Amino acid sequence: MAGNGTDTEHSHRLTWQKTCFIITVNIGHMDGEPPEGEDAVLEGLREHWTHICNLPNLAVARGQIERNKKGQLHINAGLKFKRVWRGRTLQNVGKCWADVADNEHAVMRYGKKTDTRVEALPDFGELKKRTKKGPSKSDIAVKLLLDGYSPAEICTIAPHVFFTHHRSIKEMWATMQMASHPDTMDAQTRAYITGEEE
């Protein structure tokens, strides 16, 4: 998703509220006069990385200083926030170019490219390890339906599951009822359920 499309599409994506972004910091994004000399540019980019890592609600930052084909130094990074941001706000507060990242895994991949790397930047934060606490609510709903429970019974047995998935439960129950009594179905419904053409 990130980096794809036209300037208009990018401008639209900047209005989305997301938690994952990719960013680029060029010399022009930094405050004050552009530093002269490569050492001064590198120091300025390192200081800007510190600014980025101090953004509110930042959970994870991965990045590096790279040299583009024109020889210009810049930061490429991925950021994940604990709460949603708009890309435009990130650009203004972070003083960078930003675009939405597909997910936190895209963020974690930043800083691994070696062909243009000049310097790896310090990692900030860690992703929380996801722990599987058992079957999901949708898994429970499907199992109960397959075990023959009606929507009303599911509502009684597992109200938290019914509350979250009541429409799907009712739709699946109705489809299962029609499939178990094919003589009561019209031809179009029968073809839809069985996958057979008339």
The domain that holds 35 is classified in CATH as: 3.40.1310.20
Do 33 and 88 lie in one domain? The reply is: yes
Do 16 and 86 lie in one domain? The reply is: yes
Do 58 and 109 lie in one domain? The reply is: yes
Residue with tokens 């860690």: 126
58 close to 79: Cβ distance less than 8 angstroms = yes
For residue 54, what are the domain limits?
7-120
Residue with tokens 């401008």: 11
Strands 73-86 and 58-67: antiparallel
Do 23 and 109 lie in one domain? The reply is: yes
Pull the structure tokens for residue 6. 């036209």
178 close to 184: Cβ distance less than 8 angstroms = yes
Q: Which residues pair with 76 in a beta bridge?
A: 24, 64
Per-residue pLDDT of the chain (198 residues; tens, 9 = 90+): 455 567 778 777 888 888 999 999 988 777 667 778 889 889 999 999 999 999 999 999 999 999 988 988 999 999 999 999 988 898 888 888 888 888 888 888 776 778 889 999 998 888 777 666 788 888 999 999 899 899 999 999 999 999 989 999 988 888 888 777 666 656 666 666 556 655
Do 42 and 107 lie in one domain? The reply is: yes
Largest CA distance in the chain: 82
